[in-house]
Amino acid sequence: MSNDSQQDQRSGAIEEDAIVVVFGASGDLAKKSTFPALYALLVEGLLPANTRILGYARSKMSDEKFDEQLFWKIRDDEKEGHIKANDAKKEEFKKMCKYVQGPYDKDEGFQGLEKEMRRIENEEFDGKRANRVFYLALPPSSFAQVSHMIKKNNYWSGKINRLVIEKPFGKDTEDCRAMMDSIAEDWKEDEIYRIDHYLGEEMIRAIYHLRFANRFIEPLLNREHVESISVVMKEKFGAEGRGGYFDEFGMIRDVGQNHLLQAISILTMDPPDSMDNDSMRDNKVDVLKSIPPIENSDLVLGQYAEGDGKKSYVDDETVPDNSKTATFAQWAMKIDNERWKGVPVLVKCGKALDEGIMTMTFNFKAPKHNVFNVSAPSALVVRLNPEPAIYFKTNLLKPLSKGSESISDEMKYTVPGRKVAGDKLAYEVVIGNVFKGDQSGFVREDEVIASWEIFTPLLRYIEGPNGPTPVKYAYGSHGPEEQFEFEKRFNLPVDQ
């Protein structure tokens, strides 16, 4: 088989005869996201014909326990009215799924998995070899080892094989390169699907249509018209229940280097020639490579203390008493290209704050001829939470005014029936695209490396011996007071 035909096969759609193996099947990610998304794809008729699903983990698990793992989130969503109960589809899904117990570091475990896959092919697929999707719902430290074991024991070269891994992809540039290099020894780039589920979020995907399906929008998005760009992600909850994981990674690694930087790259990249796998990702990489490392001085860090009847971050039993891990981070970025040079990008993210909100805003410059002396800046806003929407903040004539008084108002598009954005639909989209062979919503290796190069020097400063100590803020407050002085440096509107 020629190299071209091998690549065509690797990148084609899986339309039938698929075995999906979910590694880490006993963990929270599989329970809360992976299995519910696979079930939703079944209900919507979007799984390949003749699909079987194997859960694999080290834990011993009875059929009853695996059933609970499969349907825990689905049943919860039914109770809350998020999805319609469908006993027939649940029974069908249950019959599609089986649990295989085994280690992640011994050949015999993967050989046992292969034996079960061969049984399915022989008994349920009439002896035909299946296409194989390997979903690693595992800690990143396991990716290299497990992907090697899969290639050694479970890869079938006559069919499509896909390896799906979840962020975070390493902890810094060096760690990421080592992980990517190790996986690349066994897997081709077009077989690897790196999930950042934010790329499946409805309002993130809506940015493409907003920018590239409307001729009047794109000419506004450049340094001539935009004063600043702000990205805000505030969460009302703390790190409760995730203290062990969160303390290892911190706020910047948890959402900044991945979710929020993905959003920024989509907001600011040049228009692609097409929406195919590489044209769009090439332009995202170009804009990431034009962002220099963040300056140490362009940073505010905070850590929540007790408040609102809740414990402080360090009072969590899974967090070290002397932890300096930030639960609030704010920084400024620069984009050194012709389109955006001189336009600051201000990013704010934090836990245990006064509201849950996610917005991305282009703040426009004041009119060249400000004849109405307006002070409220106009803006284009993409809001994920609450109530997903896209809207312009504009200055208009005050209704029924007998003079020329202006008011600030909104021209808005909202998503019908959506009160909050969530990762349920996002995971359906990204896993569905794994079957389609559409990599446009996944992260390419050079894209991951470029994103780490922006943050690695800053992270080394933060975690070094002379790194800053996060300032305290009360649980349920608006965060550190220092954020407001920081924003004044960049003339950011006060409501951002």
Catalytic site residues?
A: 259
Report the distance separating Cα 439 and Cα 433, nearest Å. 7
Beta bridge partners of 350: 234, 328
Which one, of 276, 287, 293, 255, lies nearest residue 442 by Cα?
276
Quick count: other Cβ atoms within 10 Å of Cβ 389?
A: 19
Look up residue 482 and give its two tokens.
């220092």
Q: Which two tokens stand for residue 226?
A: 């935009």
Q: What is the CA radius of gyration of the chain?
A: 24
User: Who contacts 247 (Cβ-Cβ below 8 Å, separation ≥6)?
Assistant: 239, 318, 319, 320, 323, 325
Provide the residue type at 51 as one letter. T
Tokens representing 349 are 């993210």
Type of residue at 81 = G
Whole-number Å distance between alpha carbons of 245 and 254: 9
DSSP-derived secondary structure for 290-309: TSPPPPTTSEEEEEEESBTT
Nearest of 166, 195, 207, 196 to residue 384 by alpha carbon? 207
Q: How far apart are CA 277 and CA 189, in angstroms?
A: 12
Tell me which DSSP letter residue 410 carries: E
> Is the CB of residue 229 less than 8 Å from the CB of residue 267?
yes
DSSP 305-368: ESBTTB--GGGSTTS-TT----SEEEEEE---STTTTT--EEEEEESSBS--EEEEEEEEPPPS
The rounded distance, in Å, linking the Cα atoms of 391 and 426 is: 22
Q: Is 388 exposed, middle or buried (0-12, 13-18, 19+ CB in 10 A)?
A: buried
CB 166 within 8 A of CB 137: yes
Whether residue 386 has a cis bond before it, omega within 30° of 0: yes
Question: Residue 10: phi, psi to the nearest 5?
Answer: -65, -35
Structure tokens at 432: 């569905």
